Amino acid sequence: MAYGSHHGISKFEYGAVLAASLGYLMNRQRDAVGLAAFDETIVSMLPASARPGHLMALLVTLDRLRTGALTNVSKAAPSDREHADQARIVVLISNSASTIRTT
């Protein structure tokens, strides 16, 4: 996902901007937003929250992410079984080298 274009933005950066944009929109609606970034294991996890300052925590977490190993979604994806009774939307932003997942 580190592959970039001639215009200076890599696929990884594009994915992070997309995740940040969706997080911003959800936060503005006062919806809880969280983040799980993983390759073969979870490398960063930010639990969902609708607090006013949570957007900054999301942006800082996204800024600190780096590309990793190949992704194995079935092995690393966080289980949502404990939240199965709650309404939620899961967005998976992926490439074969890294994955950003927002919940």
Convert the pLDDT of each residue in 16-59 to its tens digit: 999 999 999 999 999 999 998 887 788 889 999 999 899 999 99
**Count of the separate structural domains present in the chain:** 1
Looking at per-residue pLDDT, the higher value among 74 and 93 belongs to 93
Q: Is 84 contained in some domain?
A: yes
Q: Is 19 contained in some domain?
A: yes
Q: Is 16 contained in some domain?
A: yes
**Bridge partners for 38 per DSSP:** 42, 99
Q: Is 4 contained in some domain?
A: no
Matching residue, tokens 């930010």? 46
pLDDT score at 76: 61
Q: Is 1 contained in some domain?
A: no
Q: Is 22 contained in some domain?
A: yes
Q: Is 3 contained in some domain?
A: no
Q: pTM for the whole thing?
A: 0.76
User: How much is the average pLDDT of 57-72?
Assistant: 86
Q: Which domain holds residue 49?
A: 11-102
Distance of CA 78 to the CA centre of its chain: 12
